[in-house]
Structure formats: C-alpha cells, structure tokens
Structure 1
Amino acid sequence: MTMDNMPAWRMPLIGAQMLVVAFGSLVLMPLLTGLDPSVALFTAGVGTLIFHLITGRTVPVFLASSFAFIAPIAYSVHTWGLSATMGALMVTGVLYMLLAGAVKLRGPGFIHYLMPPVVIGPIIMVIGLSLAPVAVGMAMGEGAESYTRTQALIVSMSALLTTLLVATMAKGLFRLLPILSGVVVGYGVALAMGMVDFTAVNTAAWVAMPGFVAPTFQWQPILFMLPVAIAPAIEHVGDVLAIGNVTRKDYIKKPGLHRTLMGDGVATSVAAAFGGPPNTTYSEVTGAVMLTKVFNPTVMIWAAVTAIVLAFVGKLGGILQTIPAPVMGGILVLMFGSIAGVGMNTLIKARVDMAQARNLVIVSTTLVFGIGGMVIGDADLSLQGIALCGVVAIALNLILPGKQGQIPVDDLHEEQAIVDDFISHGKS
C-alpha cells in the first residue's frame, strides 16, 4: 500500500514507529554526554523539520544525535562548560554549510576528494576505539557507590547479550531495535536488583519545559570541535546514497548533495542554539524505510512532530535519567566496537592498498595519534583526539604524493558497497 492511497490516520502511527526505531540511539548520546535527553528529542524533531524544509520534502530521512561527537562533547563540557560547547557546535553547523557551498561549486565528488576512504576509515576507527575505555568503565560500574562491580557486570552483560542477539537473530522491523531492546532488558534486570533510583521520575512534572541551554562562544572549544565534523559529513554522503539506493532515486542530483548537507548544517546549528546535540541522518531509519517500503517523506514529518511532543513530557525525561550507567555500558561495548569495525570495513571495501607507503603512513599515524592520546599545543590552544586525527589525516592525504583527482558523481554510486554498511550499524 502506498502513501497515496493509505488512510490519513495511519501516517502518524507509521511516523511514531520510525521514531521508535531511532529512539534508543537518539537518547543514548545525550545520556552519555550529560545533555538533556528531552532537549535532544526536541532538537531532533525541529532539525528534521528544517531538513525537509530545505530539501523540499524529497528525502525520507530522520535527523538525530550524532555518535561521532560523544567523546568531543564530553571533553568539551568538562573543560569549557555546556554553554561554550553549544557555541562550538553551532559553528560546526556553519562548517557543514560551507561544505554544502563547496559541493555546490565543485560538485558532489569534492567531499570524497577531500576525505577519501583512506582518510575517513581510520578516523571512524579512532572514534570507536578511543571510546572503548568509557564503555568498559561504565559496564563495570566504575565510580558507582550504590551497587557493586558484580551487580554492574550482571546488568551490563544482560544488556550486551540482548543487543547482540537482536542485532544478529531478530527478524523484520524488530531487528532494527537492538539498542532499545538492550536498554529495556538491562533496565529490567537493574530494576530487579534494586539499582534504579526513581527520584527523578517522582519529582518530574507530567508536562515540563526541556532544559534548554543558551550558547556562548569561546575560540578554544570552537577550534577543538570543528575538525570533528569530518566523520559525520562523509557519513552523511553515505546515508544519502543509501536511502537513494533503497528508494531508487538519485538524491545526489535532486534535491542535490549541497541541499542535504545544508539541511544537516542548519539543523545542527539550530539544535545547538537550544542546547541539543548535533543532528545527522539516521541509518536505522533508512533500514526501517527499506523494510516497510514507505518512501513518502511525510512519515518523517510525523516522526519529527512526535519527537517534539514527547520532549515536553517531563515524566519521560525523568525515566530516561534513571537508566543506570551499566545498562548503557553493556550496549556501548558492542556499539563502539561496531563503529571501529565500520571504519575498518571502509578501508577493505574501498580496497585501500596498505602496501602503498602513503596509505600506510596516513592510517598508522592517524590511529596512533587518536588511540595514544596525542596532544599538540598547550592548554589555551591544543588539538587532540578526533579533532587532531581529522586534521592530520586530511593534511597527509593532501600533501603526500599519489593522491587521485576528484571523484565523478557516477563513481560515487559505485562505492555503494561501502555505504551499505551504515544501514546495518549505528551512527559513527
């Protein structure tokens, strides 16, 4: 049944279903970084509406929290505060807009010219591997005083086992809900063991304003955050190609990659203006579109409206804040490992020859800098982590001899094998 002859009352229900698919990943990111999950719901909805306004409601995608920013946001909030971090993320959105302008002038192959697989592969690997200690620490309950390590491991492993079983053995739409399933089971085990504190739920009102945060602007967090946008930008290209492959439409040409990038950029800046995480297209929802065969972007409008409404349900925000850290830790063991795996597969699918000196230099330097914790600069001005890896990988790729020219649009479609990985994995 197509959307054209489908009863009007079914569209909001299908939209809510799309939100359920994205919900686990959507709230996971703010819970890990100390942001308000209700704000993340609100900005995901608003960002999705902005994206569809800019793209002319042509691409059936949903925008929500980008996992690539987990470590940078956590560090930035700890170092410079939440407000300054939001200011830096607003500027990151502007960088997306500049990339959109460059794509408009140079063509869709410009991003792949700037960030080919030999660059983006190790960066994605660093995103996953650098976060491994965070996942393990949460899974073991490090720093917790209300429960033991044994209790934490029981909860985290139950969440991990559920997540991997659903991801590998479930059928149909249910297979797209591994994170949500892991949260539910892990939360149930934690509840049975008395590890859940309902204070946040009891004190929350049924209807409440999300905890919006106004941004401020400091150049240190801005310089730190800007290079982080590299991975989500290249992932965005993959998502646009993936959804085009599902719907059999060429979104690179219409509405154009420059418009979809612009939609991401404006949505990210607006999200940061309210205190929400950066927005990016969600691959889980692309998988749901593929299974349901519902290609009409109107469904995503309803998903966005549902997210905005839920953002003002105070009890829901309170419940999300009661989720014990080991529940998230168990899921993140698989999630961050999968991100690193996607980065490795990017190199394999693109047939990056590691016997070539330039490729070996780029990949090895990027990995060691990122995983080893290399810092360049002082306390006032420094590059480290994913930001440093992005700058180093791009610079080496541009400087070292042997770089290929700009990739034609037709060749972008030939790289679909790489892109398809993003449908079955979470955000990277």
Structure 2
Amino acid sequence: MMAKKIIQVEEKVPFKMLIPLSIQHLFAMFGATVLVPFLFGINPAIVLLMNGIGTLLFIFITKGKAPAYLGSSFAFLAPANVVIAQFGYPYALGGFIAVGFVGCVLSFVIKKFGVKWIDIVLPPAAMGPVVALIGLELSSSAASTAGLLDEVVNMNNVIVFLVTLLVAVIGSVCFKKFFSVIPILIAVVVGYLTAVCVGIVDFSPVMEAPLFAMPDFTMPQFNLDAILMILPVVLVIISEHVGHQVVTSQIVGRDLIKDPGLDKTLFGDNFSTMISGFLGSVPTTTYGENIGVMALTGVYSVQVIAGAAIMSIICSFIGPLAALIQTIPNPVIGGISFLLYGMIGVSGLRILVDEHVDYANSVNMMLTSVVFVVGLSGVTIQFGNIALTGMVLAALVAMIMSLAFYLFAKFKWLNEASEEPKDML
C-alpha cells in the first residue's frame, strides 16, 4: 500500500492548492475561536484579526519550523468571566496581558535551563495518555456542538452531523490526488449544503452585514485583584502548550521541543496573548483542531498555516465574508470536530507505540493507568477561580508521579517488577 504523500513543514505548495488548504484550516478553527468572544460578549472581528496576526508572529518567532494556528483560548473562560462581572472587560484584558508576560518570562527560564526535565517529569508512559486526553476530553464537546446531547435531539442536526462526518471519514480513505488532502474542506462544504437543504441555515446576518467594518479595539485596564484572579491560568496554558508541541512533533516526525525549541514556541504563544490583550482581543493558544487537520491530511506546511492566518485577518474587515462563515451550523462543526479530536487522541496512543513502552514494567503501568483515569473521571480540583480538571489535572498528576518514581529509582527503592524503566533512567 502506498503511503500518503507528506508535505513537510518548510515545503511550499502551488497557489492553486494553497487557497483550498488554507480555507480548510480556517474552517477547522473557526467555530471554536469565535465562540470565546461570544461568551465574553465582544465582537468576534477583533479576535479573527488578532488570531491571524498572532499566528503570523508565532511563525516568525519560531522561524517557520513549528506549524501551529493560534486560536482563542478556552482556559481563561472561568476566571475572566468573574473579572468581567466584577470589574469589566478592560480589566480582564489586563489579566490576559499579565499571564502572557509571565509565560514569556518562563520561556526565557526554559531557554536558560533546557528541556531535559520534560523526559523526567513526563516520560512516554505519562506523556502518551496526557496527549491522548487533549483529544478525548473534547469528545463530549464535539457531540454537544453537534446537538447530539440536547434533551430533545433535532433530527435535522443528526442528518447534517452524519453527512459531514461520513464525507470526512470516507474522503480521508477514498479520495485521491488533490482531493485526498482537502477532505475536511469538502466535508464542510457538503455538510453546509445539506444544512441549507434541511433549512437550518440563516442567511440574514450575511444580508445585514456592512461591506467593510473596522474591528472594535479596546484598551486594557490594570487592577491587581483582577490580575491575581486570572494569573493562575498560566499553569493550565503551560501544560496545554507542552502537550500540543509533543503531539505536533509526533505528527510531523520532528522534535519541536528541541528545534525550534520549547522556549521559542512558548514565547510565540504567550507574546501573541500579550499583543491581543493590548488591542482588546482574547488570549490565544495553539489549536487542537488544526493539529488534527495536519494529522489527517499529511500537510504540515507553515505556508498553508500562514495562508489561513491571512484569510482570518481579511475576514475581520469584510463584513459579509465573516458573517457567511459564521452561518456554518453547529452540526457541521461538530461533525468535523468529532473526527479531528479523535485524531489527536490517536496521536497520544502513537507515542506509546513508537516509544515501545513496556507494560510489563509496573512503573509504566501505574503511570498510564492513573493518568487516564484522572483525565477521564471528571474529577476537579478548585484553586480560587481556577478549576483543574481533564488533561491539565492529569498532566499535573503525571508530573508528580513521574518525579516520585524517578526519585524512587535513584534511591533504589523500586521492586524487581519496576526497576530500571527504560524511559526514566
């Protein structure tokens, strides 16, 4: 069987391919990235603008070596909503800037002390399930977006969801030549047309949108109490960022933690959050949806990511275009997400396979077992306004357990079934 053709990170693609490939990435991230500003009560146009600018900055900072699209971060929702209710949105922006600044400082600390600590606190037996949880914990979100978890399920939503998902799945294994690298785009188009046919698309926002509109810029305000409410989110975004870089490394077949380096990717991510905060937008993060697109299509080119970023910037100024994309119904987004989140989960399992994790070793067995259960159990630990749950809580538990087992090994406290684990010593 012939392997799928891979378009590597630094490779260029012909212009006739660049447009549809970039649109595919734009569609993949759009539903999630505009949801955050809606929840904050702000116009999504400024978010589309800053997501695009942030992505281009990230590509520049990482010297085009790390393919990633920066979309709206969900990690800030709980504390930011508290700040917005008490102080107002400008003070939440001050908190976003503070978190981005701390993240940038941490990137310089990592540059100084290196990344060897990752192999100790997150060996493959722990990293595999942590990465898998990035996708698996979002599975219910995909089903909810599609309307499958509603008390009364609308059959029109089910039809659109199934058509979108089936086209994406069948297209991924059956489409040939150029169509084989744009199954997500084709699935979105077919799903959208199906939604039009069953009557769940409202075109009135497109008709009412102005031809040209400037995004709403908001200046930040700073308050120490507001900043302290949001600042603990830095623990969440660091864990999320490391996980995303590891899974992207597995997909593209390159160690992005070493080249361009975790310090550069972390700086690029958090610098984007800072700039967004200064101009009135929401924090950014590398997006799992776009990681899933790369895993599915085998197209890793940063040129394509940059193309999607430029399109996002254009959409922020052209009213009807942005409005048209916003009319994509949730069942279409849910159908695509259903597949992409699963691809991320499989990437985590791939770490266990590629690293030949030995489950005859008790240390590996304990790490993977506990991390999976913690991540999928729904257990939540609350620190003030920050809730640690899912992948983030699992990552923290994994780090604590891995460090403890590492010390046990150093002090020769391990029994015969656990001694000399290959991935820790």
TM over 0.5: yes
Deviations along 1:30-86, one digit per CA (max 9) or x if unpaired, are: 24545565444322321133234434x5537453327xx55x456566666594776
Q: Is the 8 A contact 1:228 1:390 kept in 2?
A: no
Residue in 1 that maps onto 2:228: 219
| Residue type at the aligned position of 2:69 | L
For normalisation by structure 1, the TM-score amounts to: 0.73
1:65 is aligned, of 41, 62, 71, to 71
Q: 2:130 aligns with which of 104, 114, 123?
A: 123
Say if 1:291 and 1:337 are closer, same or farther in 2 by CA, change over 3 A.
closer
Structure-2 separation of matches of 1:77 and 1:11: 42
Assess if the C-alpha contact under 8 Å between 2:251 and 2:347 holds in 1: no
Q: Indicate if the aligned counterparts of 2:374 and 2:394 stay in contact, CA closer than 8 A.
A: yes
Q: Find the partner of 2:171 among 166, 171, 177.
A: 166
The code of the aligned residue for 2:267 comes to: M
Q: Displacement of 1:103 after TM fit?
A: 3.4
Q: Is the 8 A contact 1:62 1:300 kept in 2?
A: yes
Q: How many residues align?
A: 384
Query: Residue 376 of structure 1: SS of its match in structure 2?
Result: strand
> CA 1:400/1:29 → structure 2, altered by over 3 Å: closer, same or farther?
same
Residue of structure 2 in register with 1:415 after alignment: none
Change (3 A) 1:359 1:211: farther
* Distance in 1 separating the partners of 2:409 and 2:60: 36
Give the match for residue 265 of structure 1. 270
1:29 partner amino acid: A
Instruction: Tell me the SS of whatever aligns to 1:195.
Output: coil
- How far, CA to CA, are the matches of 1:399 and 1:374 in structure 2? 22
User: 5+ unaligned residues in a row in structure 2: which ranges?
Assistant: 1-11, 411-425
Equivalent pair of 1:241/1:251 in contact (CA under 8 Å): no
Deviations 1:367-390 (A, max 9, x none): 222222112247656433333222
Specify the SS of the correspondent of 1:205. Answer: coil
| Structure 1 unmatched runs, 5+ | 1-5, 406-428
Match of 1:419 in 2: none
Letter in 2 for 1:205: P
* Corresponding position of 2:203: 198
2:54 to 29, 47, 53: 47
Distance 1:381 1:242 in 2: 31
The AA in structure 2 aligned to 1:258 is D
Moved more, 390-399 or 211-220: 211-220
Deviation at residue 189 of structure 1 after TM alignment: 0.7
Residues 345, 238 of structure 1: alpha-carbon distance in 2 compared, 3 angstrom cutoff: closer
Q: Partner residue of 1:275?
A: 281
How far 1:392 sits from its partner (Å)? 1.4
Q: Secondary structure at the match of 2:388?
A: strand
The DSSP-based 3-state class of the residue aligned with 2:381 is strand
Judge conservation of contact 1:62–1:304 (CA < 8 Å) in 2: no
Partner of 1:400: 405
Output the CA distance in 1 between the equivalents of 2:93 and 2:69: 18
1:9-408 matches, cutoff 5 A: 16=19, 19-33=22-36, 35=38, 38-55=45-62, 57=63, 59=65, 61=67, 63-65=69-71, 69-70=73-74, 72=75, 83=89, 90-94=97-101, 96-143=103-150, 149-210=154-215, 217-224=226-233, 226-236=235-245, 239=248, 257-273=262-278, 274-280=280-286, 283=291, 304-377=309-382, 380=385, 382-401=387-406
Q: Aligned partner of 1:312: which letter?
A: F
Q: Is 1:87–1:222's contact at 8 Å kept on the other side of the alignment?
A: no
Deviation string, structure 1 residues 236-266 (Cα, Å, up to 9, x no partner): 2564687685xxxx98777655334322331
Query: Structure 1: which amino acid aligns with 2:170?
Result: L
> What's the C-alpha RMSD, in Å, of the aligned pairs?
4.0
The one-character-per-residue Cα deviations of 1:76-126 (angstroms, maximum 9, x if unpaired) are 666665947766654554454344323322335444444332333222222
TM-score, with length taken from structure 2: 0.73
Measured against aligned partners, the alpha-carbon deviations of 1:193-220 in whole angstroms (never above 9, x if no partner) come to 1111223222221212335566674434
Amino acid at match of 1:22: H
1:14–1:299 contact (8 Å) kept in structure 2: no
* Separation of aligned partners in 2, 1:92 and 1:347: 33
Match of 2:420 in 1: none
**Identity across matched positions, percent:** 28
